[in-house]
Chains A and B, each alone.
Chain A
Amino acid sequence: MSHLDALESQSIYILREAYNRLKPLGMLWSLGKDSNVMLWLARKAFLGHVPFAAIHVDTGKKFPEMYEFRERFSKEWNLNLIVRDCPPVDSVDPSLPPAARSAARKTEGLKRVMNEFGFKGIIAGIRRDEQATRAKERVFSPRADNGAWNFRDQPPEFWDHFKSDLPEGAHLRVHPLLAWTELDIWRYIERENIPVVSLYYTKNGKRYRSLGDQDITSPVESNASTIAEIIQELETTKTSERAGRAMDHEREDAFERLRASGYM
């Protein structure tokens, strides 16, 4: 069994657990590379089907290429697509730094989706290698009814036994990609030939490594125009994946606060 086979099998196991234990269930589809891999894994787990909703919490500030991608593949992959807009930025905690505050709109948007549909499980494509607080996450991670993450008291999780019973109103975030790295994601995209947004490829000497809102995401220097070149670049890079995501870097605990209040 290769490394990618082992990761794939583990993610399928997690997705099947979520589908069996949590109803209703939804998957966050941010249109980025990780959530495309996640959808692909769902189709592997459920034999071509995606038997739950794909949710795009839309900030309205994504790149045009991303919206095109959404329209095309939600049809090609026969997704049950839910798109909901985020509230305006002045409805968000003003004590957060500007970029984090902008990102927190997504948290508010997600809360509205949760209220509307009452999901018991939300599948999100976060990975441990992205960011230090994400490294401490559980695969099945409980959220209180206000979406808050109590990172000081997480449930035990071992031997692939996941907490799946929750009080009324609370929900679980399910993280099937937690054990993957950025490089794993690209190698799997290459192996499986999974479509991704063109923004990941070089344009005028720059490309995006991580996709967020237009105004708080910046591209990195790169000439990678194929997946193989992206992989080659990542094997030698000295900068981190989320370096271009402004909200991670504003204040020491900004991202931790974002996550504690319900951000992915």
Chain B
Amino acid sequence: MTQTTSTAAAIAEEELASNPAANTNDDKARFPFAIVGHVDHGKSTLIGRLLHDTGSLPEGKLAELKAASDKRGGVLEWSFLLDAFQAERDQGITIDTTQIFFSTAKRRYVIIDAPGHKEFLKNAISGVAQAQAAFLVIDAAEGVREQSRRHALILHILGLRQVAVLINKIDLIDHDADRYAAVAAEIRHYLGQLGVTPLALVPISARNGDNIASRSEKTPWYDGPTVVDVLDNFVPALAPVDQHLRLPVQDVFKFDHRRIVAGRIESGRLRVGDQLVFSPSGKQAKIASLESWSAAPQIAAGAGQSIALTLDDELFIQRGDIATHVEHQPHLAHQATVRLFWLDTAPLLAGDRLKLKVATSEYPVFVERIHAVIDVGNLAATQSDRIDQNAVAEVTLRSPALMALDKFDEFAKTGRGVLLRDGDIVGGAIVLHAGAVDQSRHLYSPTQSIGSADRASANGHRGAVLWLTGLSGSGKSTLAVSAEHRLFQRGRQVVVLDGDTLRQGLNSDLGFSPEARAENIRRTAEVAKLLAETGLIVFVSLISPWQADREKARRIVGENFAEIYVQADIETCKSRDPKGLYKKALQGEIKNFTGIDQPYEAPEKPDLTIDTTALTEEQALQHLLDLVDGLSALNGYEGRKPTDSYTI
């Protein structure tokens, strides 16, 4: 079959994707750059024009493009060259990122075309993250729009520092210097707030070819570089071999008797004989050999290389460990403050649980605090308890695991990561600050048990016992279970000890005499103490009618104990009677029932009284949660104060 039977558009795409003109250079790498901007500001048109004006389009392509455009009844659409999917052509928008190869007289390029629609931000990021430089395209007539700003912010967060602005459709403002200057000033101001100085601002018309490959006569007032000039002056990034060593362990192979550690050096270099430390475990060993197949033997390797090595000691090393030299280790922390962009349709809320994946390490985390959500328009920080799709925010994450992290501005590749929810990538994050932990405490010797302070640090809160006392039917269990759910969602370690449940097991040998009740409370208090010491927030829901028994419970538990009087008058409780117990007690079927034939001693000095006859369930819950927050807060821990103004 020959190409004459094919349709024009299919050939156009086919040959563009495997553009022969891209093959006319030496074996140097292709420089990847992205084209971003608001939808309809002319990104795809620019690409078509760049290919045309640099002589990268095969012969006859223009005619074929015209035929394909006519077929859909439209004017000449450069973007048809690029929008590969039928769905994209029919809708006239770019859905997913794509790559096009072309070259100038100077070197070869890969263009990464990113969709401008807000709903396709995840695709734009997937593309832009591969680029080393970017053009931000802005419609001269429309000026800076929401996606212009969002894309600029994303460029910044992705760490792209080589940015040039192309102010497109200059013909729509009659090639007017003043109107151009106004748009240029607006974008300069915005980028300035981000700390980004554009390498150039160029007035262009992608459709007509002004200032693309050659200077346009229609803009005599402009004496700066053309698009191709700017392109050829972008500088390729070099692998960071001069930084300190970072080697995230990707896998440990056991093809024979040896354990071979495999990974890619993300920064720095290493040599056989170097002493390595693996974080966060802190284990150390020397590099015994570098292993390879069908390659000359190596004794050293540097950033960018995927390597395999053996150690002089058979340590238990696993995927996710980061190997470094001893004197320059990553931060070890349970807590990290990150700047993130959120891609999931479901919002991110304080307390949500996620996984943070940095290089090859995965850590369970929860959102401890949302400091600020950044308004893309003016970069102002706003307070919010939710982060919606496509928003940028600054949050503190906490992990029960000890995390080995770098700060993004020190080590780009081990200072950034993705957020996972149910196995899906739902966001990206760069580490601004890794909360330090006591270095003496992170290396647990096997003989030394883990203390409650270690557990509190990992959990982000201390253990506590909340002792809920009150008549049957006063609402103790309802409150305890509601609080348990709410706290669990917020990432707290929490459990409810319910009197009824305990009596079915641990206390099944006990009756309801005053002596039996005292023993019931003693055992429950001991269990609560153990659980609180292991870091849990424990709700005890027990009638516990005697003041003396409750005081004994407080003595057993010690600090972090609160007595909560869940108050409701006996008539209300009788009318609620959720378990039908009052009815049975009144009929004499149950003996020693508190409030009927045994007294209830109301607490003299409870830490909190919750009157369930006066408060709504939500109000009652809030009172209880406020008390829990105070009681379980880490000593001296205040977290990061919310930022009023946001500075990047």
A residues with CB within 8 A of B: 1-6, 8-10, 12-13, 16-17, 19-20, 40, 43-49, 51, 99, 128-136, 138, 151-152, 154-159, 161, 163-166, 181-183, 187, 192, 216, 218, 234-243, 246, 248-256
Q: How far is the CA of A157 from the CA of B386 in the complex (A)?
A: 24
Q: Is the CB of A252 within 8 A of B7?
A: yes
Inter-chain contact A235/B305, CB cutoff 8 Å: no
* A133 lies within 8 A of B84 (CB): yes
User: Which residues of the other chain, A, contact B3 by a CB distance below 8 angstroms?
Assistant: 243, 249
Instruction: Write the B76-106 contact mask toward A (1 if CB under 8 angstroms, else 0).
Output: 0000001011110000000111111100000
Q: A92 CB to closest chain B CB, in angstroms?
A: 18
Closest-by-CB residue of A relative to B96 is A136
B556 within 8 A of A: no
Question: How far does the alpha carbon of A165 sit from the alpha carbon of B422 in the complex, in Å?
Answer: 8
Q: B441 to nearest A CB, angstroms?
A: 31
By a CB distance below 8 angstroms, the chain A residues around B208 are none
Asked whether, in the complex, the Cβ of B423 is within 8 Å of the Cβ of A154, the reply is no
User: Complex Cα distance A135/B82, Å?
Assistant: 10
CA A130 to CA B58, docked complex, whole Å: 16
Per-residue CB contact flags for chain B residues 129-148 toward chain A (1 = under 8 Å, else 0) read 11000000000000000000
Shortest beta-carbon distance from A69 to chain B in Å: 19
B14:A131 contact, CB within 8 angstroms: yes
Q: Contacts A1-B302, A5-B304 known; list 16 others, CB within 8 Å.
A: A8-B306, A19-B251, A44-B294, A128-B17, A128-B99, A129-B19, A132-B14, A132-B98, A135-B100, A136-B85, A138-B126, A163-B423, A192-B294, A241-B18, A249-B1, A251-B10
Interfacial chain A residues near B229, Cβ < 8 Å: none
| Segment at the A interface, from B20-28, B547-555, B607-615, B622-630 | B20-28
Contacts of A216 on B, CB cut-off 8 Å?
A: 1
The listed residue (A43, A48, A151, A250) touching B85 by CB distance below 8 A is A151
Contact pick for A43, options B123, B264, B293, CB 8 Å = B293
Q: Which residues of B contact A9 (CB under 8 A)?
A: 264, 304-306
Q: Is the CB of A129 within 8 A of B17?
A: yes
- In whole angstroms, what is the CA distance A243 to B23 when docked? 16
Taking CB atoms and an 8 Å cut-off, the chain B residues in 231-246 that contact chain A are 239
Which listed residue, B84, B126, B420, touches A135 by the CB 8 Å rule?
B84
At the interface, yes or no: B481 with Cβ under 8 Å from chain A? no
B3 to nearest A CB, angstroms? 6
Query: Residue on A with the closest CB to B29?
Result: A3
In the assembled complex, B52 has its CB within 8 A of some CB on chain A? no
For A131, A156, A218, A243, the residue with the greatest tally of chain B CB atoms inside 10 Å of its CB is A156
B512 within 8 A of A: no
Cβ of B255 under 8 Å from chain A: yes
- List chain B residues, Cβ under 8 A from A49: 255
> Is A47 a contact partner of B29 (Cβ separation < 8 A)?
no
User: Which B296-313 residues sit within 8 Å CB-CB of chain A?
Assistant: 302, 304-306, 308
CB-defined contacts of B24 to chain A, threshold 8 Å = 235-236
A239 and B17 in contact, given A44-B295, A151-B96, A251-B7 (Cβ under 8 angstroms)? no
B417 and A161 contact, CB distance less than 8 A: yes
Q: Which residue of A lies closest to B1 (CB)?
A: A246
Contact between A47 and B99 (Cβ–Cβ < 8 Å)? no
Chain B residue, CB-CB nearest to A49:
B255
Q: Report Cα–Cα, A75/B6, bound state, in Å.
A: 41
B62 → chain A, closest Cβ, in Å? 16
Number of residues in B with C-beta < 8 Å to the partner? Answer: 74
Q: Considering only CB atoms, which chain B residue lies closest to A236 in the complex? A: B24
User: Is B13 positioned at the interface, with any CB of A under 8 Å from its CB?
Assistant: yes
Q: Distance in Å from the Cβ of B389 to the closest Cβ of chain A? A: 12
- Which B residue sits closest to A254, measured CB to CB? B10
Inter-chain CA distance A234–B84, complex, in Å, is 24
CA distance A223 to B125 in the complex (A): 44
On chain B, the residues within 8 Å of A157 by CB distance are: 126, 425
B150 at interface by CB-CB < 8 Å:
no
| B416 in contact (CB, < 8 A) | yes
Do the beta carbons of A256 and B424 come within 8 Å of each other? no
- Chain B min CB distance to A154 (Å): 6
Whole-angstrom distance between the alpha carbons of A134 and B100 in the complex? 11
- Chain B 1-41 per-residue mask, 1 if CB under 8 angstroms from chain A, else 0: 10101110111011111111011100111000000000000
Q: Pick the residue among B84, B158, B255 that contacts A132 (CB under 8 A).
A: B84
With a CB–CB cut-off of 8 A, which chain B residues contact A251? Answer: 7, 10
State in angstroms the CA–CA spacing of A152 and B120 once bound together.
Answer: 10
B260 within 8 A of A: yes
Leading 3 A-B pairs by shortest Cβ distance: A165-B423, A158-B129, A132-B84
Q: Is B292 an interface residue (CB 8 A)?
A: yes
Q: Which chain B positions have C-beta within 8 A of A240?
A: 14-15, 17-18, 20
Residues in B neighbouring A246, C-beta threshold 8 A: 1
Q: Does B428 contact A (CB under 8 A)?
A: yes
Q: Which residues from chain B contact A134 at a C-beta distance below 8 Å?
A: 17
Contacting residues, chain A, for B20 (C-beta < 8 A):
237-240
Task: Report the bound CA distance from A9 to B263 in whole Å.
Answer: 10
Question: How long is the Cα–Cα vector from A13 to B423 in the complex, in angstroms?
Answer: 20
Is B215 an interface position by the 8 A CB rule?
A: no
Name, among A135, A152, A236, the residue most crowded by chain B CB atoms within 10 Å (CB to CB).
A135
Docked-complex contact A156 and B122, CB < 8 angstroms: yes
**In the complex the two chains form, what is the Cα distance from A5 to B304 in whole Å?**
9
B28 contacts A249, C-beta separation under 8 Å:
no
Kindly state the separation between the CA atoms of A154 and B410 in the bound complex, as whole angstroms. 32
Specify the chain A residue showing the minimal Cβ separation from B81: A132
Tell whether A161 pairs with B250 under 8 Å between CB atoms, given A151-B96, A250-B1. Answer: no
Any chain A CB within 8 A of the CB of B398? Answer: no
Residues of A within 8 A of B22 (CB): 129, 181
Inter-chain CA distance A204–B3, complex, in Å, is 23
In the docked arrangement, what's the CA distance between A236 and B28, Å?
16
Of A45, A99, A138, A252, the residue contacting B1 (CB under 8 A) is A99
Query: Does B101 lie within 8 Å of A20, measured CB to CB?
Result: no
Asked if B239 and A46 make an inter-chain contact with CB atoms under 8 angstroms apart, the answer reads no
Partner of B14, one of A10, A152, A182, A249: A249
Residue contact B17 to A131, C-beta cutoff 8 Å: yes
Q: Which residues of B contact A48 (CB under 8 A)?
A: 293-294
CA distance A154 to B18 in the complex (A): 23
Asked if residues B418 and A152 are in contact (CB atoms below 8 Å), the reply is no
Q: A12 contacts which of B58, B126, B302, B306 (Cβ < 8 Å)? A: B306
B357 is an interface residue with CB less than 8 A from chain A: yes
CA distance A1 to B305 in the complex (A): 8
Q: A136-B96, A249-B14 are in contact. Are A4 and B27 (CB under 8 A)?
A: yes
**Known contacts A9-B304, A132-B17, A249-B1; A154/B10 CB under 8 A:** no
Residue B253 is within 8 A (CB to CB) of chain A in the complex: yes
A132 to B80, CA, bound (A): 12
For B82, list chain A residues within 8 Å (CB). Answer: 132
CB distance from A240 to the nearest CB of B (A): 4
**Of A134, A187, A241, A252, most B-chain CB atoms within 10 Å:** A252
Are B293's CB and A129's CB within 8 A?
no
Determine whether the beta carbon of A152 is less than 8 Å from that of B95. yes
Give Cα A5 to B23, complex, Å: 19
**What's the minimum C-beta distance from A253 to chain B, rounded to whole angstroms?**
4
Q: Is B291 an interface residue (CB 8 A)?
A: yes
- Are A158 and B418 in contact (CB-based, < 8 A)? yes
The chain B residue with its CB closest to the CB of A131 is B17
CB <8 Å contact, B251 and A135? no
Shortest Cβ distance from B364 into chain A, in angstroms? 14
Query: Is B343 close to A, CB under 8 A?
Result: yes
**A137 → chain B, closest Cβ, in Å?**
9
B10, A248: Cβ atoms under 8 Å?
A: yes
In the complex, chain B residues whose CB is within 8 Å of the CB of A163:
423-425
Also in contact, A3 and B418, with CB within 8 A (given A154-B96, A237-B20): no
B18 touches A159 (CB 8 A): no
Contact across chains for B425 and A155 when beta carbons are under 8 A apart = yes
B130 proximity list for chain A (CB < 8 A): 158
The verdict on B517 contacting chain A, using a C-beta distance below 8 Å, is no
Sampled A-B contacts (10; CB under 8 Å): A3-B29, A48-B293, A129-B18, A130-B18, A131-B18, A136-B98, A159-B413, A165-B423, A238-B20, A252-B10
Most chain A beta-carbon neighbours within 10 Å: one of B1, B87, B423: B1
